[in-house]
Structure 1
């Protein structure tokens, strides 16, 4: 009898421990609809979204922060901060829609994730920035137009399988972060929408971007100061301003940019192809170890361009730029240009570009252009040309 009781007791204890163990690792779902959100696309659900995140962040076990299907949450600025006990997985299956009034925003971001490790965001849903009313004010509000998604001081993070439309400012900004992977995004805004970069990267190390379709009114991807170890591949870009390193040197004491590799991308109807741009009169910094490889251009202006006399608003300090550019390789760049000059390498008189390599370049005139052949132009740069060269390279010595 005692043996039977002991066996039952052991079974009961084992059962309870198993249940406790399972419950501690189940991913509890945190849904804003359970935190007084309406999810009707009309009511401002900002506070409910933050309250939901805070509860998920405090949860003792893995959790899911869920934007459910067939819902639209209207929101002003919402900051989802850590550190958390266990960083929740973010599943955006429905739609987040920004309030359209710019007066609601005082910070750089609309949706912000901050101070988090092991963050994973996906779900197949949409972030709608409702930027159309803000774009006419782009000049007066140029430093205030919010990014749709801001990743700030995050690490070991993935962002995947989402759609971004009509951001007020940049669609995505990654800042002061490490070990980031961005895949399978669709990013769209009208071609005339100002400052609507697809993705902007700064002060970030080890970021991999692949499988994106980007159509915006500014750079598809822009790489700013302090970005290192950046890998971009299989990105379709256009319309927009192309894939840009820079602009660099606008501010004092900017961090160096290095190790940017762009491969297997296609650009169509963009105002630039692959570009490096630095401000006139910039303070000293370095930009080096860049590779642009297997890039296809279709009716692109300035397919290959280094512009160290960048000055978009005619208020720049007099040249030259003091950003030192070196070790840049263009390999297997092909397609069509709608400008006569298909390769333009305009470097700084103060710190000329060094070790720029053109290898197997084949850029012809687009069908809508009457000129017979493309040209190259360059200044203050040492160029090495290898293999096929169309247009003929300029090999001007410094």
Structure 2
């Protein structure tokens, strides 16, 4: 074929259009080292990270903040998103973010790293080391200590994706999702000793459309805790242990408190945990509720309380003695729950006298204790059992 000037011009035009499309689809990258971050684990890089965030927020195009390999020391920092000009920011982390070794530096701040009013954020990879051991020692010694800081907080935010993140040794909660919409956490790993106090792996409250999948959580408190105002929560393929299991609650501390509804927990393994599937409410007056909950395809290995509803929670009989829980619990389904209990009573429904639990459904539950069928205990609980029953239902 004879190549004419017209063909050459057309080819050049196509090449220009191709490279323009390629460049327009590539995210602008902001390397934190370009803003002064030092990967030595000793130099305070807080300001560098905040400046990289500010530069990325000023862009109208999709952006990436890149954290190369190394250890980056960060004090308490808040990343605000209300002034960001784009809704597609990725933070790609190949390194480790490290909290100060002196717990007093962030111990009274409440949050180590906080994302506030952000819309459209992906955090990919990285390790977050809260260095909480010294604070835990202080707390267990009975001394006067700070409450501690949550490791990673997302507040008043939407369209958040957390992929492949590792959180280690947070002073308190590792990850907090508070008043958010459409949050996905996938491939998350949480690690802290089994005796570390108040180190919940992931806590969700006042949020909707949160998904937690394909994650391993071992810590000193709840692997996943679900607070008031949570709806449309999906939890799937989770390995939990050590820890206190997956808990809805504590609920009912406030008189006026939004409820928890439409929660699915499926394909979860618990190993050596204090609890498995727990609903916990304070023995206090409240207008809260828990309803439309499904627990399905669960495996327990040496779990102290595999299935438990505790509506008489009142540690040391303080702040709630002689009160009945006002939280209404209904329509909770347990399907295909199997494994071993570390205690004789594997199923315990201790519900409120004022508002008995209703609509509890047990289907194909097979829990044993020392190679014998475990036992069940019910108080103020109504519902039905079907399929395989071990222990025998007390409903």
Aligned with 1:93: secondary structure? strand
Q: Tell me the residue number matched to 2:262.
A: 259
Q: Tell me the residue number matched to 2:220.
A: 217
Q: After the TM superposition, which residues 340-379 of structure 1 pair with which residues of structure 2 at under 5 Å, given as runs?
A: 340-366=344-370, 372-379=372-379
Q: After the TM superposition, which residues 99-114 of structure 1 pair with which residues of structure 2 at under 5 Å, given as runs?
A: 99-105=100-106, 106-114=108-116
Given that 2:104 and 2:146 are in contact with CA atoms closer than 8 Å, whether structure 1 keeps it comes out as no
In structure 2, distance between residues paired with 1:196 and 1:114: 21
Q: Tell me the residue number matched to 2:74.
A: 75
Given that 2:244 and 2:275 are in contact with CA atoms closer than 8 Å, whether structure 1 keeps it comes out as yes
Q: Tell me the residue number matched to 2:33.
A: 33
Give the TM-score normalised by the residue count of structure 2: 0.91
Say which of 328, 334, 338 aligns to 1:330: 334
Say which of 227, 235, 238 aligns to 1:235: 238
Q: Tell me the residue number matched to 1:92.
A: 93
Q: After the TM superposition, which residues 186-201 of structure 1 pair with which residues of structure 2 at under 5 Å, given as runs?
A: 186-201=189-204
| CA-atom RMSD in angstroms | 2.5
Shift of 1:282: 3.6
In structure 2, distance between residues paired with 1:33 and 1:221: 34
Given that 2:233 and 2:262 are in contact with CA atoms closer than 8 Å, whether structure 1 keeps it comes out as yes
Say which of 167, 170, 179 aligns to 2:170: 167
In structure 2, distance between residues paired with 1:296 and 1:79: 39
Structure 2 unaligned residues grouped into runs of 5+: 1-7
Deviations 1:64-106 (A, max 9, x none): 111112x111111111111311142111111000112232224
Q: Tell me the residue number matched to 1:304.
A: 307
Deviations 1:258-312 (A, max 9, x none): 0111001000000001000000114221110011111000000110000001123
Shift of 1:190: 0.2
In structure 1, distance between residues paired with 2:22 and 2:310: 59
Shift of 1:373: 3.7
Q: Is 22-31 or 45-54 further displaced after alignment?
A: 22-31
Q: How many residues are treated as equivalent by the alignment? A: 386
Matched, 1:391 2:391: yes
Aligned with 2:194: secondary structure? coil
Q: Tell me the residue number matched to 2:136.
A: 135
Structure 1 unaligned residues grouped into runs of 5+: 1-7
Q: Tell me the residue number matched to 1:4.
A: none
Give the TM-score normalised by the residue count of structure 1: 0.91
Q: Tell me the residue number matched to 2:119.
A: 117
Shift of 1:116: 1.3
Aligned with 2:52: secondary structure? helix
Say which of 255, 265, 287 aligns to 1:284: 287
Shift of 1:25: 4.6
